[in-house]
Amino acid sequence: MAEVIVVGSREAAGALVAEAIERLVTGRPDAVLGLATGDTPLPVYRALAERVAVGLDLSAVRGFALDEYVGIPVTHPESYHSVIDREVVRPLRLNPASVHVPDGRPLGIETAGERYEDAILAAGGVDLQILGVGTDGHIGFNEPGSSFASLTRVKTLTKQTREDNARFFDSVDDVPIHSITQGLGTILRARRLVLLAFGAAKAHAVAAAVEGPLTASVPASAIQLHPRATVVVDEEAASMLTELDYYLDAFANKPTWDPVII
Ligand SMILES: N[C@@H]1[C@@H](O)[C@H](O)[C@@H](COP(=O)(O)O)O[C@@H]1O
């Protein structure tokens, strides 16, 4: 099962995951990070940027974003190319040439998924994958029904996801209909998974992912198949977990030899 860690705030979650990433990179300067977009991972990136400001060197780190919209120019401010550049590459002083985002441009889109898979394999795989979760239980843009074996490919977004993401665009009609996303099979190959979720709106998705049946209807439930998955949530996002007391107890009694996340 996934290890569940309940934190008091988004900032505390960011600090916890940033510390694990610093440990990872200290041991392996060219570690490969799986990068999520959305609001959820921002506290992690902010906490890492603070560490970079006081000397942490992430310049050899490599990165692979989870997903990208299809059908908007890469230069669009809400393309995940732009978001990753703005929220991750620049503040963390990563080498832009080492950070990859799926190619959502129409030309060659049929083979873009395969090319992305090849690039991840050539990099030696993802060491630590950061994940958020959609209110409908999607991870990346793997909408409900996505195969647990899926690899990077084009997915049609659900109405719910387009409505959730409309806040980044002028209107819901401006949210692209298609995306290109790492598959659940791709995500499960990462050596470590860290799924973050904050706020009551995510409580249902978190409970379904951690404790619900393994089902393609809740793509995030795929994390139950991963041997090293950690779920970092605030109290609101944890509020529908039936076994909450057990998770709190397990974390309070975590063996000292067992590091948090990494
Ligand atoms: N493709 C992204 C997901 O990777 C992200 O997890 C989800 C939740 O977003 P937020 O973290 O803003 O709630 O939104 C988008 O759909």
pLDDT in tens, 100-132: 999 999 999 999 999 999 999 999 999 999 999
Q: How many domains does the chain have?
A: 1
Query: In this predicted structure, what is the pLDDT of residue 262?
Result: 85
Query: Does residue 261 lie within any of the structural domains?
Result: no
Percent of the chain with pLDDT over 70: 100
Q: How far is the CA of 199 from the centre of ligand 1 (A)?
A: 13
Query: Does residue 56 lie within any of the structural domains?
Result: yes
- Closest alpha carbon to 206 in 178, 243, 172: 243
Q: Which residues are catalytic?
A: 67, 136, 138, 143
Query: Does residue 8 lie within any of the structural domains?
Result: yes
pTM above 0.80, yes or no: yes
Q: What is the CATH number of the domain that holds 106?
A: 3.40.50.1360
Domain that holds residue 129: 3-252
Confidence band of 1 (pLDDT split at 50, 70, 90): confident
Query: Does residue 262 lie within any of the structural domains?
Result: no
Query: Does residue 227 lie within any of the structural domains?
Result: yes
User: What would the two tokens of residue 86 be?
Assistant: 């703005």
pLDDT in tens, 144-203: 999 999 999 999 999 999 999 999 999 999 999 999 999 999 999 999 999 999 999 999
Quick check: 74 and 100 in contact, CB under 8 A? no
- Residue 226 C-beta-side C-alpha neighbours within 13 Å: 29
Query: Does residue 19 lie within any of the structural domains?
Result: yes
Query: Does residue 221 lie within any of the structural domains?
Result: yes
Angstrom distance (rounded) from CA 61 to CA 33: 7
The β-bridge relationship of strands 153-156 and 178-181 is antiparallel
Atom of ligand 1 nearest to the CA of 132: 6
Name every protein residue with a CB atom under 6 angstroms from any ligand 1 atom.
36-40, 66-67, 132-134, 140-141, 161, 165
The enclosing H or E element of 32 equals strand 32-35
Q: Ligand 1 pocket: which of 67, 69, 133, 177 to mutate (most atoms <8 Å of CB)?
A: 133
Quick check: 229 and 3 in contact, CB under 8 A? yes
Query: Does residue 139 lie within any of the structural domains?
Result: yes
Angstrom distance (rounded) from CA 132 to CA 122: 25
pLDDT in tens, 21-34: 999 999 999 999 99
